[in-house]
Amino acid sequence: MKRHFINPFEAEGEWFKGNVHAHTTKSDGTRTPEQLVEIYKEAEYDFLSITDHSIVVDVGGLGDRGFLLIPGEEICVGRSQAGTLYHLVGLGVEETLPFRDFDYDLDPQSVIDYINEAGGISILAHPYWSGLNHSDMMKLKRYHGVEIYNTSCEYERNTGLSSAHIDGLIVAGRKPWIYATDDHHGADRPNLPLDACGAWINVKAESLSIDSIMESIRKGLFYSSTGPEIKNIAIDDDGVVSVECSPVKYISFVSTPSLGMKFYAEAEPLTGATYPGRPRETYVRVEVTDYEGRTAWTNPIYNI
């Protein structure tokens, strides 16, 4: 069994932790850019993208040598079968997108194409929360990735996990990269945790610079997490996939429908597992889940 995987654990560089979807008072967030930067710096993130609606926020002077700000914007356009909008994140776009936000009549594909041509990375945000179905998502092409987890959507509506949406795309032949993000808005109501510093991507890059981080993200040299650490992924010549991780309760190898395999901790937590593969599978991706229900996700590994 031959596998194709852009393996960040074999790449040169260092690991950098960041969030690529967040809002401030420049659109519908409750914290200023300055306040949000301090929250992520104190949580020991290495980079952040403020992706407010309808504007690329000027973040000049907010970063420093140890904390990187990547420009970005979120825009909501088009109409799903449920009558809802597609939410798209343009990571790395340097100028405000020339589209009207919340335009139900605008084709989201035109926004994706514009982001790509402008040198940005297009991400389909929170499909479960947005009410997107498989047909809605299959209408779009050339986006870089999809949010598998969104902290704000999960905390506020219990609709933050979109793994089934992503697996449906992969089975249908698409190859999205997988993102976990916060989408911080900072809604203030009783019994609601702060939707910041709950999810991130760990990126293997040569340096903490916009060019280096963007290049590594574009190549897929990252994994996503809400807590656990993935320490290594190895694939041997027979297609056997091995994972090493921080202590967890479950390790799941999610694959083509009805295939894959899940491992459970017994007397001791799991710190690794090996998956031999199954006949007829076309891909596998790894999820590790700790005792608090927090998960880390690899990008998909494809059969060739």
Domains belonging to the chain, first-starting first, are: 13-225 (3.20.20.140), 230-303 (2.60.40)
Q: pTM for the full model? A: 0.98
User: Which pLDDT band, with edges at 50, 70 and 90, does 65 fall under?
Assistant: confident
What is the C-alpha separation between 11 and 218, in angstroms, rounded?
A: 14
Mean pLDDT of 111-126: 98
Nearest CA-CA partner of 73 in 87, 58, 99, 53: 53
Tokens of 13: 């560089």
Tokens of 206: 């040569």
Contact 224, 200 (CB under 8 A): yes
pLDDT of residue 59: 92
Name the phi and psi angles at 36, rounded to 5.
Answer: -65, -40
> What are the beta bridge partners of residue 122?
90
> What are the beta bridge partners of residue 18?
47, 201
Mean pLDDT of 142-152: 98
How confident is the prediction for the chain on average, in pLDDT?
Answer: 97
What is the C-alpha separation between 251 and 143, in angstroms, rounded?
A: 28
Q: Tell how strand 145-150 and strand 177-181 pair up.
A: parallel
- H-run or E-run covering 39: helix 33-42
